[in-house]
Structures are given as C-alpha cells and as structure tokens.
Amino acid sequence: MDLTLVVLAAGMGSRYGGNKQLDGIGPNGEIIMDYSIHDAINAGFTKVVFIIRTDLKEAFENHYAERFKGKIKMEYAFQNEYTEHTAPYEPIRKKPWGTTHAVLAAKHLINEPFVVINADDYYGQESFKEVVAAMKDLKENEYLIMGYELVNTLSDHGTVNRGVCQVDENMHLVGIKETLSIGKKDGKISYEEDGVTHELSPDTYVSMNFFGFPPSVLPLFEEKFIAFVEENKESPKAECFMPVEVGNLMKEGKAVVKVVPTSASWLGVTYKEDKEHVVAGIKQMVADGTYPEEVK
C-alpha cells in the first residue's frame, strides 16, 4: 500500500542551541533523518514529506539533491507559510503553533495513510517494520502510537519530557500524561510534580511522537486547531500539540488508539552533549552491518 512518512523538522532546537536537524552524525555527513528515511524505505514507505521552515528549504534541498534519489518520493511543506486559520494573529506570535499545525501544513500533500515522526529522533529499524505491519489493518477510526520503553528513551545529560502512556489490557491507549523533567538518579527513574517525587518503571510505555493515521484524521485535526486558535488567539506562545488532540479525539469517542509496543532503542539529540552518544551509536551500527558505510 502507499504509505507516507511525515517528518516534523520545523522545530527551533532551542535546548540544543542550533539547527540540530541538519547536524551530521554519520560517517559521511548523514543526519538522523537519513537513517529514519533509510529504514522507512526498507519497510515499504513510498513518500516522505518534510515539514520545515522556508529558511531551511535550500539546506534541505542541497542535502537531498542526490540522496535517496529514485528510492522514495520527497516533498516539502512549510509550517510558517500555513496561515489559513491564523493570519490575523501572526504579528503577536512568539513561536510556531505546535505539531498539530505542522501536520496541517502538509494536508495538501497527504492522501494516503501516514506516519508522523520527529526529525531529531532515531527510532530503530524494527519500529518502522512494526508500524507498517500494524498500519495494514488500520480502520478509519483507528490510530497507532509506537510505545517505547521509557528506559530506552532517556538522556545521560539532563532530564527529558515524555508522554507517559496509560494502556489497557487490549493495548489500547487510555490516556497520555505529558510528564516533565524525567531523569535517572541513584539507579531509579523519576520526576517531580508539585514538590513530590514520583518513580516510574523502566518499561513504562512512552510516546516519542511516532504516530500512524488514516488520512481521515486531517479534517478532525483541522476542527481541533480552529477551536484552539480561537481559544488562544491572544496567547503568543500557546501551542496545539498533536498528542493532546489525539487524546481529545479518543476521549470524545471519535478514535481508538492502538499502542504498538517496541523494544527498539531510541537515540536523540536533546542536548549538545547527546551528540557524542548518537555518533557512537551510529558508528557501532555501521560496524556491525546494521547500516551501510554511506546511507544514500
């Protein structure tokens, strides 16, 4: 089946301190996205849509001028140009409108089932194969979320924010709690909330913004976004987060969200100090034959 990979790449990378999306981490200047696209091609994806800012267009086009040529269709959507519902409020905006808005910026390019990922996360080869297998049985009112084990998503250089998943006995999502400042201390994983320390199990399922959708979700996202803009039009930093809107649709009975568990190890660059770990991880996977010397 035709399947599109939607890559969220318009983020500012404020904590990292620069444009981490185009920061080379592979032996031949590969960026994290290159490994995701390589894995997506091998899993059966037919198109990739990059959601970027217009100031990144030239850099992306240069990077992908020859890379993956003839292997997958590539298209671009520009989040900062999608002002269909926000034009009157743009002058006061301090940041983009969030990930729901980003996906809507690409709605004119998506006519088939699609998977959404972050540009700066490495998700693991097996996770792409697992999501493709699950997408084949997806119904119109069903969405997918890849459930990563929390212990496989932490940083050694600071705390992380994760969407902690509540899952029922059928592996259906019950809710997602956006949990801030999760970190490792004294061999335990925990976070603080209202002055109280809460411990989390290492195998707790968390969302890494790796979702699968039928195209019918797009008009529902648009309805949610229009309502969000109306409620937050005077808030220059408010963001409409896609996981939150997925949760809202689920609560309203408009969608069932299936959690696809994966034991894949996540690699990501949240902080500058993470880069060394990611580079070492990719180098090892090249050495053991998981990836070729040059991903192209």
Give start and end residues of each alpha helix (H) in the chain: 32-43, 57-63, 99-104, 125-135, 217-232, 242-251, 274-287
Q: How confident is the model at residue 14 (pLDDT cuts 50, 70, 90)?
A: very low
4-287 CATH choice from 3.40.50.720, 3.90.550.10, 3.30.160.20, 3.40.630.10: 3.90.550.10
The predicted model scores a pTM of 0.91
Residue 212's pLDDT is: 98
Residue 128's pLDDT is: 97
- Lowest model confidence (mean pLDDT) among 80-89, 147-156, 207-216, 263-272: 263-272
Per the prediction, the chain carries an average pLDDT of: 91
pLDDT at 204 over 60: yes
Contacting residues for 69 by C-beta, under 8 A, at least 6 apart: none
Q: How confident is the model at residue 15 (pLDDT cuts 50, 70, 90)?
A: very low
Residue ranges of the domains in the chain? Answer: 4-287
pLDDT at 126 over 80: yes
Residue 137's pLDDT is: 87
156-176 per-position pLDDT tens digit:
888 988 989 999 999 999 988
Q: How confident is the model at residue 213 (pLDDT cuts 50, 70, 90)?
A: very high
Structure tokens at 156: 């050694």
Mean pLDDT of 101-122: 96
The three-point CA angle 261-106-12 to 5° equals: 75
Residue 19's pLDDT is: 54
CA distance 223 to 284: 45
| Residue 81 contacts residue 202 (beta carbons within 8 Å) | no
Residue 124's pLDDT is: 94
**Cα distances (Å, whole numbers) of residue 128 to 42, 146, 187, 193, 238:** 9, 9, 30, 34, 31
Q: How confident is the model at residue 16 (pLDDT cuts 50, 70, 90)?
A: very low
Residue 188's pLDDT is: 95
CA distance 238 to 253: 26
Phi/psi zone of residue 13: left (φ > 0), alpha (ψ -120 to 50 degrees), beta?
left
Q: How confident is the model at residue 116 (pLDDT cuts 50, 70, 90)?
A: very high
Buried-state track 117-151, b at ≥16 Cβ within 10 A, e below 16: bbbbbbbbbebbbbbbebbeebeeebbbbbbbbbb
Mean pLDDT of 121-134: 95
| Residue 262 contacts residue 124 (beta carbons within 8 Å) | yes
**Cα distances (Å, whole numbers) of residue 115 to 124, 137, 229:** 15, 14, 25
Please identify which residue in the block is written with the tokens 């240069």: 62
Pairing of strands 47-52, 73-78: parallel
CA distance 79 to 193: 33
Pairing of strands 196-200, 121-122: unpaired
pLDDT at 106 over 70: yes
CA distance 168 to 146: 15
Please identify which residue in the block is written with the tokens 């648009």: 222
CA distance 60 to 39: 19
Pairing of strands 142-149, 205-213: antiparallel
242-291 per-position pLDDT tens digit:
988 998 999 999 999 999 999 898 887 777 777 888 899 999 999 999 99
Q: Using CB atoms within 10 A of its CB, is residue 114 exposed (0-12), middle (13-18) or buried (19+)?
A: buried
